[in-house]
A = this chain, B = another copy of it.
């Protein structure tokens, strides 16, 4: 008999790990803790029993990525994706209960890969500035390496109301910002930039600026070298922030300045 996705009960929000609990330890420790939480979050890759099935699942995911990247999420029919994957439509329903679910599964698996990659790369780095620079350069580079995924993720998924419907994907995207805010707080403690500013506002400038560059690259393949341009804009912003601190300090020493 068929094992349909829709037969499974909605996995009642694994209550064991605390998904929302705001990590509020010393920033140094909580950074590792946060990364660990995030890297483990999306673990249900495929609970299929047979190898054959895992291959099919992969085929479908790859096909979906290609099709979504080419035509967006709403236009392609389920049948198109099934055809691209080389399986009958009904088989696709054995794996994913709807197009929406399929469209959120793909980004999730890549996002998990990114976080785990960053976790490895950041291992020896302790400086907040360096950590941020690495984080964001790697984001840009990851988008360049996985251009089809990037197109799907940056243009269709993030930001989209649709995100609100997919608990798990929503968390993962929030995590992205959460890491950055944490690092900005760390930098405040270290005196790398002003501690008087709203860290969320600072995060908005960093994420917003970089995303804008990534999105422009996705749409127009300009600037040519995304990795370089991404690193450049982040460095520029970080320098601006460092300068902002310097000005604040000298203003405090010589109040009647200007």
Chain A contacts to B: CB under 8 angstroms:
71-74, 100, 151, 154-156, 159-162, 164, 197, 200-201, 203-205, 207-213, 215-216, 219, 229, 232-233, 236-237, 239-241, 243-244, 247
Task: Among A156, A159, A162, find the residue whose CB has the most chain B CB atoms closer than 10 A.
Answer: A159
Instruction: Determine the chain B residues whose CB is within 8 A of the CB of A212 once the complex forms.
Output: 203-205, 207-208, 211
Contact A74 B162 (CB under 8 A): yes
Instruction: Determine the chain B residues whose CB is within 8 A of the CB of A203 once the complex forms.
Output: 212
Contact A216 B204 (CB under 8 A): yes
Number of copies: 2
Given contacts A201-B229, A205-B208, 12 further A-B contacts (CB under 8 A): A74-B162, A154-B159, A155-B160, A156-B160, A201-B233, A204-B212, A204-B213, A205-B236, A207-B208, A208-B210, A243-B243, A243-B244
Instruction: Give Cα A243 to B250, complex, Å.
Output: 13
Instruction: Determine the chain B residues whose CB is within 8 A of the CB of A204 once the complex forms.
Output: 209, 212-213, 216, 233
Q: Which residue of B lies closest to A211 (CB)?
A: B208
For A74, give its contact among B73, B164, B213 (CB under 8 Å). B73
Instruction: Determine the chain B residues whose CB is within 8 A of the CB of A210 once the complex forms.
Output: 208
For A209, give its contact among B73, B74, B208, B229 (CB under 8 Å). B208
Instruction: Give Cα A209 to B209, complex, Å.
Output: 6
Instruction: Determine the chain B residues whose CB is within 8 A of the CB of A209 once the complex forms.
Output: 204-205, 208-209
For A205, give its contact among B100, B233, B244 (CB under 8 Å). B233
Instruction: Give Cα A233 to B166, complex, Å.
Output: 30
For A162, give its contact among B72, B154, B197 (CB under 8 Å). B72
Instruction: Determine the chain B residues whose CB is within 8 A of the CB of A205 once the complex forms.
Output: 205, 208-209, 212, 233, 236-237
Instruction: Determine the chain B residues whose CB is within 8 A of the CB of A240 once the complex forms.
Output: 240-241, 243-244
A129 to chain B, nearest CB (A): 16
Q: Which residue of B lies closest to A247 (CB)?
A: B243
A75 to chain B, nearest CB (A): 8
Q: Which 8 A-B pairs have the closest CB atoms?
A: A208-B208, A208-B212, A204-B212, A72-B161, A205-B209, A240-B240, A208-B209, A74-B74
